[in-house]
Each structure stands twice: as C-alpha cells, then as structure tokens.
Structure 1
Amino acid sequence: IQIVQGVPPSPRSDHVAAIHADRYFFVFGGCSHATCFNDLHVLDLQNKEWSRPAQKGEIPSPRAGHAGVTVGELWFIFGGGDHKRGVSQSVVLNMSTLVWSVIKRVQGFASLAREGLTSVLGSYNGEDVLVFFGGYDGQYTNQVK
C-alpha cells in the first residue's frame, strides 16, 4: 500500500493491530528500545492516509507485547508490559467512537499481566470464547486460559 498522506506511527514492535469496518487499520501501543507507547494510529485504507485521532475515556497505560481481539466494533486489549513488569489492566476500545473503557474483571482470570501472550476469539458449543496462551511475567508460561 502506497501511503500518500499523514504521519505514520514511529518505528516499533510488540504492538497490536486491528481492522475496523473493512476500511480502517488501527495500531495501538508497542515499544521502541526502552520506550513503550499508548498511542493510537489509524490508517484509512481507502484514502491511504494516516491519522492520530484524539482518544477519549480511560486511556490505557503504555504497553508492549499485549494481545488484542475484535468483536464487532469493540477491540479488547489484554496484558502486555513495559519490559519491567506486566500490565494487569485490560481495556476495550469502541472503534467507532474512539472511547476506551477499563474492563473491571475478566471472568475466570486472576491476572493477564504478562508480555507476549496471544489470544484468539472462537466458538465452542455455540458460545463465543476467548482463549489466551503463554506469555512472560518473570518466567515463561505455557498456560492456556
């Protein structure tokens, strides 16, 4: 994709990305060497333009190595860290309104404060389920939650 307008995100790794409304490519967080980010960037795939929209609500702390899944217009983000400690705060972004909310409790999970975990949304016995695997919180884990 040849980008023609806007300022792209700074170089980074360990961020998450999502597609919204078959048109918008969202990038959140990540890190570059010792700096972790909590910025949100959006690429309009139709107009080929980057933007950095104003975020509203309970804006998440900087993090890298987090996991993200989308359900409709909601983008759920779990875990991550700042290369010193894990972030226990789980958040959700309404991608249409750009309003963040903190998830007070994730049923069945004591903590997802780890970097490098993965997540997937699937269906089991007719119900939507979120499955998490692995990560690092001072030690590597192979837990499935």
Structure 2
Amino acid sequence: MMDTGTGVEMLNSLERSDHTAFVEGSFLYVWGGCKSVSGTETLLPSDEIWLCDLESGIWERRGMEGEIPPALSGACGSYHNGTLYVFGGCDPNGHTNQLYCVDLLDGCYTWRKVTDAGGNTPSPRDKQSCWVNRDRLIYFGGYGCKTIREVNNSRNFTVHESSWAMIGMAFFRFWGWNSEVNVFDTHTATWEEPETHGQTPSPRASHTSATLGDRGYICGGLEDTDLDIHCLDLVTWIWTQM
C-alpha cells in the first residue's frame, strides 16, 4: 500500500521522536519512533515506512509485511547494501535486544526477524549508536537492563536504578548506561564483543555518532553531561579522546 502527498494531515502523521531516519540516493526514509498524544507517549506503527523524495518534497507511505517488529522507540536503525537493520529499542513491554532486517530495494518491504545469529547477543537496550564498516554493524553504548551476573562481569556499565523484572526467561535487576562495543557481521550473522583499549568513553546513551574511513566517532550523550568526543579505530579497537 502506498499513500502520497504533502498536506497537513500527512505531515502530522510524520511527527515523531526516537525514530530511525537515513538518506539513500535522493530519498529520505523514516521508520518507527513515538509521539505525544494528549500528554501520553504513543509508539508509532512498525508496519509502515515513510519515504520523502528530496527533489520533489513528496512523501510516500509504504506498507510493510513479514515478521514485523513490535512498535519501537529508541531502536538503532542501520542501512547497509540495500537492507535496513533495526536492533534494540523499547517496545510496549520494555527494553528489547531483538534484531530485525528488511530489504528496501526489492519493493516488497518484507521484515525478517534474525533468530539464527551466532555468538552472544547484547543485553536489551535503547538509544545506542551504530557505525557501519566493512559489512559490520558496530554498536556502541545505550541504556538498558542487565542481570546480576552480567553487571558483576562488566566494567563498562553504570547502574542507574535496580528493580526486578522478567524478560523472557531471565530476571533483570539493574538498569543503566553502558560503554560496550558489540559487532554484528552481516555476512556470517554472528555477534562479537571485541576487547577495546585506550581512553574508553564513559557509559552513555542518546549520543551522536559518525564514521570516517575505519574510524568511528561519538559525541556527548547521557548520562554524562560533558560534550566530549571520542574516536575508536575500527581495526585495532583502540579508543582515543579528541
């Protein structure tokens, strides 16, 4: 299904935050997120994606099918070789660590849930960032929950609050920010957490990120209020503070 237009009603449908947006060619893609409705945060539909022709200014809404993700806010969307990958975020039940992908070039917009990945999937989180490099999705940071064992085994986690919650078959006790680096190889569908060195940034979420060659950069974010800039060499895994 496709709707087109530039009117006020369509633009109101586009109002959102904590969404995924990226540019490919002459099109801007927008998916997911949330908006405030009568003072209540409302998750937006995940079975549609919006395209804006940057030359004409015309918006289109495309319907999506397949293994559609739950409605999400704060998920991390990454575009690589015609495929949109969406990892983590908050669904109606809380934080998640699910990974979904959809081919945006075949015109079918069919979602697939990645359930056969190797390695250890990162813990549930939202508002993390992602660098795309050499067919890898390299995630950094975010805010989410961990088990007692995970917190005890991690030096890259700052506890914000603690309470009991059930997600799947695991009890999660602690919520907070992390400074972990997690890599998903799009060829082998395998997760890896490389050991990093150097001047590691403090745990954070809601930061900005960018890549330049084999270097990934981050700036700012929560929980730290400093507007600091760090660079990670995506080959040697060495951090440098700028």
Give me the TM-score of the superposition, normalised by structure 1: 0.82
In structure 2, relative to structure 1, the CA distance for the partners of 1:112 and 1:10 (3 Å cut) is farther
Q: Secondary structure at the match of 1:53?
A: strand
**Which amino acid in the other structure matches residue 58 of structure 2?**
E
Equivalent residue for 1:17?
Answer: 21
Equivalent residue for 2:58?
Answer: 49
Report the identity percentage. Answer: 26
Equivalent residue for 2:72?
Answer: 63
Paired residues in the alignment total: 137
- Structure scoring higher RCO (CA < 8 A, sep ≥ 6) equals 1
In structure 2, relative to structure 1, the CA distance for the partners of 1:84 and 1:141 (3 Å cut) is farther
Q: Can you give the 5+ residue segments of structure 1 that lack an aligned partner in the other structure?
A: none
Equivalent residue for 2:179?
Answer: 142
**Which amino acid in the other structure matches residue 35 of structure 1?**
T
TM-aligned CA deviation for residue 75 of structure 1: 0.8
State how far apart, in whole Å, the 1-side matches of 2:33 and 2:123 are: 17
- Higher-helix-fraction structure: 2
Equivalent residue for 1:28?
Answer: 31
Root-mean-square deviation (CA, aligned residues, Å) is 2.0
State how far apart, in whole Å, the 1-side matches of 2:120 and 2:130 are: 13
Please list, as runs of the form range in 1=range in 2, the aligned pairs for 1:123-134 lying within 5 A after superposition: 123=134, 128-134=135-141
Please list, as runs of the form range in 1=range in 2, the aligned pairs for 1:70-89 lying within 5 A after superposition: 70-82=79-91, 85-89=94-98
Aligned partner of 1:102 among 101, 104, 113? 113
- Cα-to-partner distance string for 1:74-133 (whole Å, 9 max, x where unaligned): 11111111486112321111112212111114433323521111111113xxxx322111
Q: Can you give the 5+ residue segments of structure 2 that lack an aligned partner in the other structure?
A: 145-174, 183-242
The answer to whether the 8 Å contact 1:63/1:87 transfers is no
Alignment of 1:113 with 2:116, yes or no, is no
- Cα-to-partner distance string for 1:35-55 (whole Å, 9 max, x where unaligned): 112242111223311111111
Runs of 4+ in 1 over 4 A off after TM superposition: none
Larger radius of gyration: 2
**Which amino acid in the other structure matches residue 20 of structure 2?**
V
